[in-house]
Amino acid sequence: MDRAGPQNAMKYLLIEDNAALAAALCNRMRLDGHVIDHALTLSEGSDFLLVGDYDLILLDIMLPDGDGRGFLERHRAAANTTPVIVLTARSEVSDRVSMLDLGADDYLTKPFDHSELQARCRAVMRRQSGSAQTVIRRGAAALDPVASVLTIGQVDTTLRNRELRLLELFMNAPGQIFSKSKLVDRLFSYDDTVTDNAIEVYVGRLRKHLEGSGVSISTHRGLGYRLDEE
Amino acid sequence: MRSEPPRPGSLRRRLTLTLIVGAAVLALLFFLVVRTYAQQVAQQSQDRILEASLTSLLDAAVVRDGQIELDVPYAAFAMLDTGADDRVFYAIHQGGELLTGYDNLTDPPFALTPSAEFSTRPFNGAEVRRATLTHSLPASPRPVLLTVSVAQTRDSLAGTLLAISANAAVFGTAFFLLAAGMALWTSASTLRPLGDLAKAVARRGPSDLRPVNRPVPSELSPLVTSLNSLMTRLSHSLTQSETFIAEAAHRVRTPLATVRSHAEATLLRVDKDENRQALRSMIRAIDESSRAAGQLLDHAMVTFRGDQLVKRDIDLVTICSEIVDRLTPVAEMMDLDLTLSSQGPVRIKGDTILIQNAVRNLVDNALKYSPPEKGVHITVSANPGATIAVTDQGGGFPEAQIGLLSQRFQRGDNVKDTVGSGLGLTIASDVAEAHGGRLELKNLNSGGACAILHL
């Protein structure tokens, strides 16, 4: 399997009435190489669900044609196992219990860190046993982002989250140079105290993990890092 | 918080006292009336016998040849036999002269009387009832005035009266006791609906604002009606403020989320360092305000719930493990291990939502200040006292400020560059205090901060 685009693409359905937020979110998801459909209302969302096969549903709670909780209930009553992450802006207290009781797999309070959303999506997918897991392969290296495991030959290495996110980035775009500062922003929630040097530590570790896999990360002075397939 | 209203006396005591005093007055009146009436009746019957005795004596008197002949009939005195040791005295006068009987019983002069005259007077050392009747007997040359007096001591009468009085006193006392008992019962049963109502209202939890719909006597219904309208207004304003908080959060957070997502997406495409710097500050500012908004809401909620704490049986370990589940993805993102240790359930009485909030804030803090690839550890223990300790391996609290950190909007000098509102520790401390405990902050010898919730 050798696609130009990312291989770990997941298919999301976003049900959110705020068009601006939805646009920003879709934008970001597509940048990460995921497929995402956007529904403005619950009924639109139901239509999408009838025809599309989604890995995960992102559901807003306050929608023009009803409460997301009712949708959740119907979704679970219809024995639909697609995991649901609720996006809520309401105070956590009142919603929390009912959300999880009604069958939401997780919830996230707006505004959220995109990395946190990704982390939660992964956690939910990991719990979802039996779901098809997408593995990214470059050379002899196979990365399972959901399980956070890198396999080279017969050896499995469990990656830490930042290692995983960094490697995922590289493996999805071989040959592309990533600048240090962009990598910092991806890994460390926009924290000024983190220096570009922090990236060197992680790149160093990835190089070690990737030994003998036929792929390597090269340094391009003044520009950044790149994943090369031999 | 709870104040007793001033008490100008008890309704129940007042009612009981009124009823008992009334009963006492009635019992006394009953006694006096019965006694007086009995006295009158006894007197009348004695008088009637005395009169009959007089009449029979007079009937026996005849004038023969100008001389009065009186053969005292046996019945005249026999009828006065009372069974008691009463003595009978008599005196018969013709004109002003004593014919027979006791001198001094009656004093002349005598006048013709149409009917017997009665009087009570002392005689021979005892009190006697005396009846006197003067008749004119036809004789020649002129009619003769015959005066007959019969007197009787009053021993039997007094005995009868005493017996009647004693009976009346017994009945009076019995009536009083019965009435007093009924007074107690009546006042208790009259006021019971009031007490029941108070109990029913007091038994409710602070969040139970349903109207009272138990049946009450009509006198209480205005009170219940106003109570219900108060409840309705209170519940309405509470619901309104809850909805308002939720709505406010929605209105504030949704645009923030939009801006943040856009900024994040833009940051991925922008290359120029100044622009990237600006976008980063923007995202940090958004994070700061959304976190502050969240914590302000949390703080308001903690204050609100803490004021009217509903304590239930809860297990601290369950609460903490839920929080660990919830925050593990966040910790993972930062390459931090979030772990929990405990020895069996730790049950206390408290409010789940408050404790969740406190622990979440402490863990949030610990995650924020932890260097990567270290751990944040939660320890729940039951001995000594229920505690939840959250420890990290970061820089620790600034020693000089450790006492001030749980005050509102206080932040350590060493964390100026980390996003935070300074409310997290305040929330945890408020929650501990609402449960009668406290928040302890200390630095570990091995480095790192430790926040302990004593509950």
**How does pLDDT run across B94-118, given as a tens digit for each residue?**
877 888 888 888 877 777 878 888 9
Cross-chain Cβ contact B294/A18 below 8 Å: no
Q: Per-residue pLDDT for B416 more than 60?
A: no
Mean pLDDT of A110-133: 78
A&B contacts, CB < 8 Å? 114
Instruction: Report residue B6's pLDDT band, with 50, 70 and 90 as the boundaries.
Output: low
Residues B229, B243: Cα–Cα separation, whole Å: 21
Query: Does B124 share its domain with B28?
Result: yes
What stretch of H or E contains A13?
strand A11-15
Domains and CATH numbers, chain A: 6-127 (3.40.50.2300), 135-229 (1.10.10.10)
Structural domain that includes position B345:
311-455
Query: Does B116 share its domain with B143?
Result: yes
Cross-chain Cβ contact B258/A24 below 8 Å: yes
* Residue in B258, B271, B372 closest to A18 by CB: B258
* Residue in A111, A115, A193 closest to B253 by CB: A111
B352: Cβ contacts below 8 Å, ≥ 6 apart: B312, B314, B319
Q: How far is CA A105 from the centre of its chain?
A: 15
Query: Does B262 share its domain with B128?
Result: no
B443 residue type, one letter: N
Residue entry with tokens 């009846």:
B131
Cα dist. B132→B9, B145, B154, B336 in Å? Answer: 64, 13, 17, 128
* Residue in A21, A27, A94 closest to B246 by CB: A94
B292: Cβ contacts below 8 Å, ≥ 6 apart: B421, B423
- What's chain B's average pLDDT? 84
Lowest-confidence range among A152-161, B201-210, B406-415?
A: B406-415
Asked if the structure places residue B370 within a domain, the reply is yes
Cross-chain Cβ contact B332/A161 below 8 Å: yes
Q: Cα distance from A187 to chain B (closest Cα, Å)?
A: 8
Domain holding B153: CATH number? 3.30.450
pTM of this structure: 0.63
**Could you tell me if A127 lies within 8 Å of chain B, comparing CB atoms?**
no
**Greater confidence, B249 or B323?**
B323
Share of chain A above pLDDT 70, in %: 88
Q: Cα distance from B302 to chain A (closest Cα, Å)?
A: 11
Instruction: Report residue B208's pLDDT band, with 50, 70 and 90 as the boundaries.
Output: confident
Interface with chain B: mutation pick from A21, A101, A148, highest number of B CBs within 10 Å? A21
Asked if the structure places residue B197 within a domain, the reply is no
Residues of chain B contacting A17 with CB distance shorter than 8 Å: none
Q: Per-residue pLDDT for A94 more than 60?
A: no
Query: Does B290 share its domain with B413?
Result: no
Lowest-confidence range among A19-28, B136-145, B221-230, B311-320?
A: B136-145
Burial B141-175 (b: 16+ CB within 10 A, else e): eeebbbbbbbbbbbebbeebbeebbeebeeebeeb
Query: For the CA atoms of A31, A200, A145, A33, what is the dihedral angle to 10 degrees?
Result: 10
Residues A139, B156: Cα–Cα separation, whole Å: 138
Instruction: Report residue A129's pLDDT band, with 50, 70 and 90 as the boundaries.
Output: low
Mean pLDDT of B6-28: 86
- CA nearest to A149, candidates A168, A130, A128: A168
What stretch of H or E contains A178?
strand A177-178
Does residue B180 contact residue B172 with C-beta atoms inside 8 Å? no
Task: Spell out where B47-158 has E strands.
Answer: 61-64, 67-70, 88-94, 97-101, 117-123, 126-137, 144-153
Query: Does B219 share its domain with B299?
Result: yes
Task: Spell out where B361-455 has E strands.
Answer: 375-381, 387-391, 438-443, 449-454
Cα dist. B421→A91, B178, B280, B291, B430 in Å? Answer: 17, 73, 18, 7, 16
Cross-chain Cβ contact A120/B253 below 8 Å: no
Query: Does B126 share its domain with B217?
Result: no
Lowest-confidence range among A5-14, A76-85, A100-109, B125-134?
A: A5-14
Residue entry with tokens 């129940």:
B12
Interface with chain B: mutation pick from A90, A107, A108, highest number of B CBs within 10 Å? A90
Among candidate residues B308, B337, B360, the one where a domain is terminated:
B308
Asked if the structure places residue B115 within a domain, the reply is yes
Residues B93, B107: Cα–Cα separation, whole Å: 9
Interface with chain B: mutation pick from A56, A69, A92, A172, highest number of B CBs within 10 Å? A92
A136: Cβ contacts below 8 Å, ≥ 6 apart: A6, A7, A8, A142, A143, A145, A168, A171, A172
Nearest chain B residue to A109 by CA distance is B253
Cross-chain Cβ contact A111/B372 below 8 Å: no
DSSP state of B79: T
**Greater confidence, B325 or B246?**
B325
Nearest chain A residue to B296 by CA distance is A91
Q: How many CB atoms lie within 10 A of CB A172?
A: 21
Q: Cα distance from B284 to chain A (closest Cα, Å)?
A: 7
Which long-range CB contacts under 8 A does A206-211 form with residues at least 24 apart?
A206/A163, A206/A166, A206/A167, A206/A170, A209/A150, A209/A152, A209/A157, A209/A159, A209/A163, A209/A167, A210/A141, A210/A150, A210/A152
**Could you tell me if A122 lies within 8 Å of chain B, comparing CB atoms?**
yes
Q: Per-residue pLDDT for B419 more than 60?
A: no
Q: Per-residue pLDDT for A113 more than 90?
A: no
Q: How far is CA B195 from the centre of its chain?
A: 6
Query: Does B34 share its domain with B106?
Result: yes
Query: Does B59 share its domain with B139?
Result: yes
Q: What is the pLDDT of residues B54-85, one digit of tens each?
A: 888 888 888 777 778 888 888 888 888 877 78
Cross-chain Cβ contact A119/B332 below 8 Å: yes
HSE, CB side, 13 Å, CA atoms: give it for residue B377.
Answer: 14
Q: What is the pLDDT of residues A12-52, one digit of tens each?
A: 999 998 888 899 889 888 887 889 999 999 999 999 998 88
Query: Does B277 share its domain with B319?
Result: no
Nearest chain A residue to B326 by CA distance is A106
Strand pairing category for A84-88 and A106-109 = parallel
Cross-chain Cβ contact B297/A27 below 8 Å: no
- CA nearest to A189, candidates A119, A139, A92, A122: A119
Identify the pLDDT of residue B353: 84
Instruction: Report residue A4's pLDDT band, with 50, 70 and 90 as the boundaries.
Output: very low
Identify the pLDDT of residue B1: 44
Share of chain A above pLDDT 90, in %: 24
HSE, CB side, 13 Å, CA atoms: give it for residue B200.
Answer: 16
Residues of chain A contacting B334 with CB distance shorter than 8 Å: 161-162
Handedness of CA A203, A207, A208, A209 (dihedral sign): positive
Interface with chain A: mutation pick from B240, B253, B419, highest number of A CBs within 10 Å? B253
Cross-chain Cβ contact B335/A162 below 8 Å: yes
Identify the pLDDT of residue A192: 60
Query: Does B353 share its domain with B436?
Result: yes
Residues B445, B455: Cα–Cα separation, whole Å: 24
Cross-chain Cβ contact A20/B258 below 8 Å: yes
Q: How far is CA A190 from the centre of its chain?
A: 18
Q: Cα distance from A126 to chain B (closest Cα, Å)?
A: 11
Residue entry with tokens 């697609």:
A82
Among candidate residues B275, B291, B308, the one where a domain is terminated:
B308
**Could you tell me if A128 lies within 8 Å of chain B, comparing CB atoms?**
no
**Greater confidence, B29 or B293?**
B29
**Could you tell me if A31 lies within 8 Å of chain B, comparing CB atoms?**
yes
Residues B229, A70: Cα–Cα separation, whole Å: 33
Q: Per-residue pLDDT for B150 more than 80?
A: yes
Helices H / strands E in chain A, number of each = 8, 14
Handedness of CA B265, A183, B371, A206 (dihedral sign): positive
Identify the pLDDT of residue B396: 82
Quick check: helix, strand or coil at residue A191?
coil
Identify the pLDDT of residue A207: 93
Query: Does B269 share its domain with B129?
Result: no
Cross-chain Cβ contact A24/B261 below 8 Å: yes
Asked if the structure places residue B188 within a domain, the reply is no
Residue entry with tokens 């208790």:
B188
With 0-12 / 13-18 / 19 or more C-beta atoms within 10 angstroms meaning exposed / middle / buried, residue B349 is middle
**Could you tell me if A24 lies within 8 Å of chain B, comparing CB atoms?**
yes
| Helix B273-307 / helix B221-269 crossing angle, nearest 10 deg | 160
Residues A59, A48: Cα–Cα separation, whole Å: 13
Residues of B with CB under 8 A from a CB of A: 242, 245-246, 249-250, 252-254, 256-262, 264-265, 267-268, 271, 273, 276, 280, 283-284, 286-287, 290, 294, 297-298, 301, 328-330, 332-335, 353, 357, 372-373, 417-418
Residues A20, A42: Cα–Cα separation, whole Å: 17
Asked if the structure places residue B267 within a domain, the reply is yes
Domain holding B400: CATH number? 3.30.565.10
Nearest chain A residue to B294 by CA distance is A91
What tokens appear for A192 in the block? 């000024």
Cross-chain Cβ contact B329/A119 below 8 Å: yes
Instruction: Report residue A89's pLDDT band, with 50, 70 and 90 as the boundaries.
Output: confident
Q: Per-residue pLDDT for B14 more than 80?
A: yes
Cross-chain Cβ contact B258/A161 below 8 Å: no
* Residue in B246, B330, B353 closest to A119 by CB: B330
Residues B118, B150: Cα–Cα separation, whole Å: 10
Q: Per-residue pLDDT for B42 more than 70?
A: yes
Residues B329, B326: Cα–Cα separation, whole Å: 7
A222: Cβ contacts below 8 Å, ≥ 6 apart: none
Mean pLDDT of B358-378: 88
- CA nearest to A178, candidates A156, A206, A146, A152: A206
Query: Total structural domains in chain B?
Result: 3
Identify the pLDDT of residue B13: 87
Asked if the structure places residue B57 within a domain, the reply is yes
Identify the pLDDT of residue A210: 92
Query: Does B111 share its domain with B122?
Result: yes
Alpha helices in chain A (DSSP H): 19-31, 42-51, 68-77, 92-101, 114-127, 161-172, 180-187, 197-209
Identify the pLDDT of residue A45: 92
Identify the pLDDT of residue A219: 92
Q: Cα distance from B232 to chain A (closest Cα, Å)?
A: 21
Residues of chain B contacting A31 with CB distance shorter than 8 Å: 265, 268
- Residue B128, strand partner residues: B121, B153
Among candidate residues B279, B308, B337, the one where a domain is terminated:
B308
Q: How many CB atoms lie within 10 A of CB A198?
A: 18
